[in-house]
């Protein structure tokens, strides 16, 4: 099989799954429906599955008509076709500070689930009402990897990082008032956090957080059985 195919407007990377563990994911924003449809057809032909991120409702409706087995989620703006053949041990928990952050949290949760992770959700547990978070402390400590999504001043990941002995992936969002600077303030706060073991992805990058969490659980699954790594 060729490692890629040149469609003129793009080069579809068929070798991505072999190199990185997951097939190429289509970034839908800025692409036409026709371009997305052409790339989807090639990836489905080679892999039997595909994920498209940042797809607006109009494009999503058109693509579901073209691919009736596809599913479109309006909150995350993700279009999925097919499911993962991999199922990793452990659990990814996605937490978000407020309901306004759900579009990023769901992008992370759906990405990790589609890539083979068991995912649980804990939403609207921001530090303005910290008792809401602490009420679920036992559940939080059971998770293998935590994705923590927050806008405003971005305090939630630091708090969670101080409660657990697990990797915490912090995701700043563009949700907040003026001095929040469209997500720059929580991004810098998370980068400057004193909570150990915390990593930070870009503003609104739920996909990147979900992907990173899946790679962590994939690595753990491979480490359990060195002779038969997950493929």
**pLDDT tens by residue, 176-204:** 999 999 999 999 999 999 998 899 999 99
CB 31 within 8 A of CB 9: no
Total residue length of the chain: 231
The residue ranges of the chain whose pLDDT is under 70 are: 1, 5-6, 224-231
pLDDT at 141: 95
Q: State the pLDDT at residue 7.
A: 78
- Which pLDDT belongs to residue 211? 95
Q: Which two tokens stand for residue 6?
A: 């040149």
* C-alpha–C-alpha distance, residues 167 and 219, integer Å: 13
Q: Among candidates 184, 155, 137, which has minimal Cα distance to 97? A: 155
**Would you state the structure tokens that stand for residue 141, as one six-digit string?**
């400590």
Per-residue pLDDT at 86 = 85
pLDDT given for residue 101 in this prediction: 95
Q: Which of 90, 128, 116, 121 lies closest to 105 in space, CA to CA?
A: 121
Matching residue, tokens 């708090």: 159
Sheet strands (E) in the chain: 4-6, 11-13, 26-27, 50-53, 71-73, 78-81, 92-96, 119-123, 145-150, 168-172, 198-200
pLDDT given for residue 193 in this prediction = 94
Q: Would strands 145-150 and 168-172 be described as parallel, antiparallel, or unpaired?
A: parallel
pLDDT at 3: 81
Indicate left, alpha or beta for 202 from its phi (over 0: left) and psi (-120 to 50: alpha): beta
Token couple for 12 = 């579809």
Three-state secondary structure call for residue 172: strand
Q: Are 170 and 200 contacting, i.e. CB atoms less than 8 angstroms apart? A: yes
Q: How far apart are CA 68 and CA 117, in angstroms?
A: 25
């Amino acid at each position: 099989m060729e490692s890629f195919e040149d469609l003129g407007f793009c080069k579809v990377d068929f070798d991505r799954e072999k190199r990185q563990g997951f097939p190429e994911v289509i970034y839908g924003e800025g692409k036409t429906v026709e371009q997305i449809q052409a790339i989807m057809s090639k990836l489905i032909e080679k892999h039997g599955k595909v994920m498209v991120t940042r797809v607006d409702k109009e494009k999503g409706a058109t693509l579901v008509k073209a691919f009736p087995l596809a599913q479109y989620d309006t909150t995350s703006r993700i279009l999925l076709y097919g499911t993962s053949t991999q199922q990793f041990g452990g659990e990814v928990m996605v937490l978000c500070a407020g309901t306004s952050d759900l579009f990023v949290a769901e992008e992370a949760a759906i990405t990790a689930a589609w890539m083979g992770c068991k995912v649980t959700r804990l939403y609207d547990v921001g530090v303005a009402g910290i008792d809401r978070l602490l009420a679920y402390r036992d559940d939080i400590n059971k998770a293998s990897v935590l994705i923590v999504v927050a806008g405003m001043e971005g305090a939630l990941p630091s708090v969670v990082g101080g409660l657990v002995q697990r990797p915490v992936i912090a995701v700043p969002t563009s949700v907040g008032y003026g001095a929040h600077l469209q997500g720059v303030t929580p991004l810098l706060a998370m980068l400057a956090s004193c909570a150990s073991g915390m990593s930070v992805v870009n503003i609104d990058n739920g996909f990147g957080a979900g992907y990173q969490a899946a790679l962590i659980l994939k690595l753990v699954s491979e480490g359990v059985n060195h002779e038969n790594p997950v493929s």
